[in-house]
Structure 1
Amino acid sequence: MRHALAIAAHGPEHGVNPRVGCVLLRADGSIAAEGWHRGAGTPHAEVDALGKLPEGAARGLTAVVTLEPCNHHGRTGPCSQALIDAGIARVEYAVADPGEKSGGGGDHLRRAGVAAHEGVLGAEAAEFLRRWLLATTRKRPFVTLKWASSLDGRTAARDGTSRWITGAAARQHVHEQRARHDAILVGTGTVLADDPSLTARGDGGELLEHQPMPVVVGLRDVPAGSSILRHPRGVLETGSRDPEAILLDLYRREIRSVFVEGGPTVASALVRAGLVDDYLVYLAPTLLGGPRLALGDLGVDTISAQRRLRVTSVTSLGDDLAILARHHSGSTS
């Protein structure tokens, strides 16, 4: 199963489908074939692995899969039925598929006489699939809120200038994070103040292969001539300030992950509504003072109402730090 998780990581993090790995084992424990999912419209991991064996060679094998085999017809057929048709005798999967349409593959396998069990390395697989599982369960995209600030929490100087608080390594890290998401979200205030292009670029300024769709929150139109209007994915203008409605609409558009780079107004609205899953904060060893805080009012009137976070990683990027955090269990979200 750990090997299945490792090969699942070859698949893209963005997109509507989860990253899944499958290993087919012989009775002696040796690997007969392996496969992983390469993105929407391509064979799922189970079918990818089965396709590497001659016809009939999968009969009696054990399939080890990071996610419960799907049980529906989407862009491809159901993996549970493919395993049954191939004569797989046993299936071990790490976590159940929570999808209303895609779930239920384990029961389908068991009804067909296949020994199917859930839970091998379940916690590791759930963490690996966290973005997709949360999006599927909550029926909204996974939200990563990013900001870059001084040590005293300021995102700009008093006059609004902010280029550059962090160094080149941190800024490049941001581009890589953009490319890991389906969409990048900002408010109209950020578009007007900074005129960002919101593309994901490499060290040399070249466009990376995957570009997140720019999404602009707010009631004002994006001005003609704005850099964002030249984005290769086009621009989605929401015409709304309602964060829950916006995320619901994005989910319906098959967007499963959103990278938020909007200013304090958008960021604070998402935090207040409990819609942030990951916080990615870039801290620069500098002090600015003044009013330009990363977040505005969150409705925390007393210390007992604080929104406690748990730091999951700290990465050094030149002189800067990238801190990844999520809500501490038991805290207000």
Structure 2
Amino acid sequence: MHVITLKLATSLDGRIATAGGESRWITGEAAREAVHRLRAQHDAVLVGVETALADDPELTVRLAGHASAQPARVVLDSRQRLPLTSKLVVTAREVPTYVVATAEPDPALVAAGVLVVQVRAVGEDRPELKTVVQALAAEGLNRLLVEGGGQVAASFLRCELVDAIEWFRAPMLIGGEGRPAVGALAIAALADAPHFRRTEVREVGDDLWERYERG
């Protein structure tokens, strides 16, 4: 059985970056440390390729004294645009790194140690998420931490695949021109909106950490 957790780190008004893309750091050091603890509790950390291209993240657990295995890194990347020079690819032989694509595996990525998983496409050549979850489960990756970006978050929510939300909210406002944490959900009525039950709120430094489970 898979468990999918959506992690959001936003301003008070639910923005993950300015209109120009600046996002480091919206939340403070204590919140970022909590995110690393969350990563350590999951089998894999998943992002979309736009996040991977914009941020060049490592998606690893960086905690003092952490000696356990690192979670796998997963990138939804239909056209396999992840550069060979990215941190994820360069470290693919040290930490399991998956690219979920809709085409035949790119030999260059495979040669670099990346595990390319081919799934069927939907819509505008996007990986079909239920198939993605099944394919990752077949690799032993059942506990997924979805970290971004807004379109990926919206896609998981639209497919009703999100079991829990870990929301870190910083005491700042970015405004409507900022980039939203969750993209379009095509909700016509409030009754159709995804509902979650708040289970906990705590302070982490200057930020709030809100925890939700699917209602």
Normalised-by-shorter TM-score class: 0.7 to 0.9
Correspondence for 2:197? 310
Correspondence for 1:281? 167
Correspondence for 1:258? 144
Confirm whether residue 159 of structure 1 aligns to residue 46 of structure 2. Answer: no
d(CA) in 1 for partners of 2:189, 2:163:
23
Q: Is the 8 A contact 1:200 1:208 kept in 2?
A: no
Query: Which of 11, 29, 39 matches 1:178?
Result: 39
Q: Is the 8 A contact 1:199 1:207 kept in 2?
A: no
Structure 1 unaligned spans of 5+: 1-134, 136-140, 329-333
Bigger strand share? 2
Correspondence for 1:217? 76
Correspondence for 1:191? 52
- Relative contact order: is structure 1 or structure 2 higher (C-alpha 8 Å, sep ≥ 6)? 2
Give the CA deviation at 1:303.
2.0
d(CA) in 2 for partners of 1:184, 1:249:
15
Closer, same or farther in 2 for the Cα pair 1:271/1:261, shift >3 Å? same
Q: Is the 8 A contact 1:179 1:211 kept in 2?
A: yes
Closer, same or farther in 2 for the Cα pair 1:202/1:242, shift >3 Å? same
Query: Which of 245, 250, 271 matches 2:131?
Result: 245
State the AA in 1 paired with 2:97: V
Partner secondary structure for residue 155 of structure 1:
strand
Give the CA deviation at 1:256.
1.7
Correspondence for 1:144? 5
d(CA) in 2 for partners of 1:155, 1:306:
21
d(CA) in 2 for partners of 1:212, 1:236:
11
d(CA) in 2 for partners of 1:207, 1:187:
26
CA RMSD, aligned part only? 1.4
State the AA in 2 paired with 1:242: E
State the AA in 2 paired with 1:297: A
Give the CA deviation at 1:297.
1.3
State the AA in 2 paired with 1:149: T
State the AA in 2 paired with 1:216: V
Q: Is the 8 A contact 1:150 1:165 kept in 2?
A: yes
Query: Which of 275, 283, 298 matches 2:185?
Result: 298
Partner secondary structure for residue 312 of structure 1:
strand
Correspondence for 1:268? 154
Give the aligned length: 187
Q: Is the 8 A contact 2:163 2:213 kept in 1?
A: yes
d(CA) in 1 for partners of 2:62, 2:133:
25
Q: Within 5 Å, which residues of 2 pair with 1:90-101?
A: none
Give the CA deviation at 1:252.
1.0
- How many percent identity over aligned positions? 39
- CA radius of gyration, larger in: 1
Q: Is the 8 A contact 1:144 1:258 kept in 2?
A: yes
d(CA) in 2 for partners of 1:188, 1:207:
27
Give the CA deviation at 1:259.
0.5
Closer, same or farther in 2 for the Cα pair 1:315/1:208, shift >3 Å? farther
State the AA in 2 paired with 1:280: E
State the AA in 2 paired with 1:227: K
d(CA) in 2 for partners of 1:170, 1:210:
22
Partner secondary structure for residue 238 of structure 1:
strand
Correspondence for 2:118? none
Closer, same or farther in 2 for the Cα pair 1:208/1:271, shift >3 Å? farther
d(CA) in 2 for partners of 1:157, 1:220:
27
Q: Which 4+ stretches in 1 moved above 4 angstroms?
A: none
Correspondence for 2:108? none
Give the CA deviation at 1:220.
2.9
Give the CA deviation at 1:253.
1.2
Partner secondary structure for residue 304 of structure 1:
helix
Structure 1-normalised TM-score?
0.54
Residues 179-237 of structure 1: per-residue CA shift (max 9 Å, x gap): 1000111111111000000110115xx76523110011121321011011215223111
